Amino acid sequence: MKKSLAEGIRRVEHAAVDESNTISFLGEGLRVYSTPSMVHDVEYACYRLIGEHLDSGETSLGVHVAVDHLGATPIGHQVEVAVTVRAVEGRKVILDAEVRDAVEVVGRGTHVRVVTEVARLRPKVETKRERLDAAGGRPD
């Protein structure tokens, strides 16, 4: 992890609101940006921001997301996702997010990610896969 991963660094991304990231359960006339899509966009903006400040072989993993979906953005419009590092506590990175359309803030939240080495993660995932396979893959 580079020293440049520090409080206050920021990233802004934009996303078009299209059929793939809207709700459908209210019918075609009420297709708006979905909460799961907002969470996805916030998480990946944070992932990319942190990734710019990692050493080779490192990645970050999301461990907590809290998002308030405050307003509706209709299909055919765009949202801006702005993420800012609030704190770096060892390998834990706490980020604030704000999502807005051309009219208002439509989402706000916090995302926590942990920086780890991919090489350390791989055996843990393999061990978990083996345990799941042995258990039949389903919760008891």
pLDDT at 34: 98
How many structural domains does the chain have?
1
CB 49 within 8 A of CB 97: no
pLDDT at 140: 67
Nearest-5° Cα angle at 78, 75 to 80: 140
Q: How far apart are CA 42 and CA 99, in angstroms?
A: 8
Is 140 contained in some domain?
Answer: no
Is 130 contained in some domain?
Answer: yes
Is 36 contained in some domain?
Answer: yes
- Determine the structural domain holding residue 16 and report its residue range: 10-134
The structure's pTM equals 0.93
CATH number of the domain that residue 16 is part of: 3.10.129.10
pLDDT at 21: 96
Is 129 contained in some domain?
Answer: yes
Q: What is the pLDDT along the chain (140 residues), one digit of tens a residue?
A: 999 999 999 999 999 999 999 999 998 889 999 999 999 999 999 999 999 999 999 999 999 999 999 999 999 999 999 999 999 999 999 999 999 999 999 999 999 999 999 999 999 999 999 999 999 877 76
Q: From 54, 53, 44, select the one nearest 116 (Cα to Cα).
A: 54
